[in-house]
Amino acid sequence: MDKQKETIDILIPCYNAECYIKTCLDSILNQSYKNLRIVIVNDGSIDSSESIIKSYQEKNPQIELYYKENEKNISKTRNFLLNKIKSKYFTFFDIDDYAEPTYIEELYSLIKNYDVDMSLCAVSKHKAGGYQS
C-alpha cells in the first residue's frame, strides 16, 4: 500500500491571524506527506486573514475555507471543524503553529507501523531569544 494514498485532514481555526497565517500554511504545504486536505474556518476575523487564505486557496485546491460568526468559544469552533472531517485521520493546527516538514509523515507512520488509532508528539514553544519544550 502506498503510504500516501490516505488523505489526512488538517483542521485550522483562524481568528485575526494575518501575521501568522502564511507561516502556518507554508509549513503545512511543505510537508513531505502530500495527501492533505486543509480545512480552515475563519472565525469572524476582522483583519486580512480571509484574503490571505483565499490567495493560498487559489494556488492550492486542497484548501477549503469556511466562515462562521465568532462566538468567543474555541470549543465551538473546533466542533465546527470536526463536523467537516472527511478522512480517517486528522490533526488540529492552531493558526500560529508551524511544523517540521516531516511532521505529518512521522505521525502517520507511527499509526501504520504500530497499528494504533492515534499518535502524539511533543511541542516546542518559540519565543524571542530561544524556545521552551
pLDDT tens for each residue of 70-102: 889 999 999 999 999 999 999 999 999 999 999
Q: Give the span between the Cα atoms of 42 and 102, in whole angstroms.
A: 26
The amino acid that residue 39 corresponds to is V
Q: What is the pTM of this model?
A: 0.89
Residue 133 binned pLDDT confidence (cut-offs 50, 70, 90): very low
Mean residue pLDDT across the chain: 91
Residue 127 binned pLDDT confidence (cut-offs 50, 70, 90): low
The pLDDT tens digits of the residues spanning 3-54 come to 568 999 999 999 999 999 999 999 999 999 999 999 999 999 999 999 999 9
Q: Give the span between the Cα atoms of 27 and 34, in whole angstroms.
A: 12
Helix, strand, or coil here: 71?
coil
